[in-house]
Amino acid sequence: MSRIFAFAVGTARSSTAGTPLDFYFPAPVINPDPDLAALIEGSFSSGVHQVAPGSLDRFAEAVGDPAMADVMRRLAAADRAMTAVRLDADEPIDSPAAAYLKLHLLSHRLALPNTLNLDGVFAHLPNVAWTDAGPIDPAELPAAQLKARLDGGHIEVLAVDKFPRMTNYVIPSGVRIADASRIRLGAYLGDGTTVMHEGQINFNAGALGPNMVEGRISQGVILGEHSDLGGSASTMGTLSGGGEITISIGKHCLIGANAGTGIPLGDRCTIEAGLYITAGTPVTLIDETGEDVRTMKARELAGGSDLLFIRNGRTGRIECRSNRKAIELNDQLHAHN
Ligand SMILES: CC(C)(COP(=O)(O)OP(=O)(O)OC[C@H]1O[C@@H](n2cnc3c(N)ncnc32)[C@H](O)[C@@H]1OP(=O)(O)O)[C@@H](O)C(=O)NCCC(=O)NCCS
């Protein structure tokens, strides 16, 4: 039984004072097969290490996977030290390098959201000014800005955040992303996912693909295949002041523009544009003949399939009935080539 849970080699950047700022791991692995695990065990000890690039040559020659061998060969030819991370179990995060490795695993589609132990991710990710001159420690930013101004230029600060944008580390195949700043490293974008300008995907959250994402996918939320998150729609997260139920949305659902959900939904559900369902929202269930069945809190419908939620424009009450029109996503809209 292999002792290796995850492994990566890549580049690290640090502040002038030596604080780690970010790590780039181009070929991370999770649960390696026995041969690769044995090779990793024989070449790297557990934890985070600086490795001389030359020492990666032997590893590149021995590794079976051609893509990984190619990455290793390129790293071995570099003239800078590399960082290797070997995690023997999926334990709480205890270093910035381990945090970056787990975020890479998610965005490389090697792990689904909510399947990794991310405890400690906030504590171990440094806050960074992400600029067009690279990552800068916010404490060192004023001096860097002054220097740039004195040289006649300026530094464009794109974000000040613990999480960088995903696309500077990995671009999963078969996706379209209208505004790269709205997707954090650690987001999971399945094949065939389109994220429009209003779409946003947090770390440890994502869309299994194919999907149209024009709204916000909060931390922990997963959007199932062929579901559509309408313009500015919202999925309720659990990080700050949200409920404790992790939201997931099944297949072939449509969350209308400006709508939102605080309950998980099964397959083929629709929420009318502009309607926000929270766990405590009173919802009147309507049967096939249009008669009221009963009124309940929305949380009782959590996880249900084939549900259509509307706010009745005549009475103002929120109603749920059988969803007759499961959406078919427009093929042309979702083409990625
Ligand atoms: C909820 C929604 C799917 C209903 O669509 P629809 O096409 O009106 O649905 P139906 O045709 O099944 O409506 C059945 C009946 O309910 C009525 N109805 C629909 N919404 C209603 C409401 N909020 N209050 C009262 N009656 C309503 C319809 O007018 C229709 O009445 P009719 O049978 O007398 O003609 C639609 O309003 C919606 O919000 N779609 C989301 C689209 C969207 O935001 N996409 C993302 C873009 S970014």
d(CA 207, CA 254) in angstroms, rounded, equals 13
290-324: per-residue pLDDT in tens?
899 999 999 999 999 999 999 999 999 999 999 87
Catalytic residue among 198, 214, 225, 319: 214
d(CA 109, CA 189) in angstroms, rounded, equals 7
State the closest ligand 1 atom to the C-alpha of 310, by its place in the atom list counted from 1. 23
Ligand 1 pocket check for 66: Cβ under 6 Å: no
pLDDT at residue 1, rounded to an integer? 58
pLDDT at residue 60, rounded to an integer? 87
Ligand 1 pocket check for 199: Cβ under 6 Å: no
pLDDT at residue 246, rounded to an integer? 84
pLDDT at residue 325, rounded to an integer? 65
- Under 8 Å between Cβ of 221 and 205: yes
Which residue has the CA at smallest separation from atom 38 of ligand 1?
Answer: 272
pLDDT in tens, the chain (337 residues): 568 999 999 999 999 999 999 999 999 999 999 999 999 999 999 999 999 988 898 888 888 888 889 999 999 999 999 999 999 999 999 999 999 999 999 999 999 999 999 999 999 999 999 999 999 999 999 999 999 999 999 999 999 999 999 999 999 999 999 999 999 999 999 999 999 999 999 999 999 999 999 999 999 999 999 999 999 999 987 655 556 678 999 999 999 999 999 999 999 999 999 999 999 999 999 988 889 999 999 999 999 999 999 999 999 999 999 987 654 444 444 555 5
What is 225-273 written as a DSSP string?
A: TT-EE-TT-EE--SSSS--SSPPEE-TT-EE-TT-EESS-B-SS-EE-T
pLDDT at residue 238, rounded to an integer? 65
Q: Identify which of 229, 211, 111 has the alpha carbon closest to the alpha carbon of residue 170.
A: 111
Q: Identify which of 337, 336, 334 has the alpha carbon closest to the alpha carbon of residue 213.
A: 334
Q: Which of 223, 258, 272 to mutate to test the pocket of ligand 1 (most atoms within 8 A of CB)?
A: 272
pLDDT at residue 332, rounded to an integer? 46
C-alpha angle 212-246-253 in degrees, rounded to nearest 5 = 30
Ligand 1 pocket check for 310: Cβ under 6 Å: yes
pLDDT at residue 288, rounded to an integer? 86
- State both tokens at 118: 């991310």
pLDDT at residue 330, rounded to an integer? 44
DSSP code, position 223: E
Reply yes or no on whether 214 is catalytic: yes
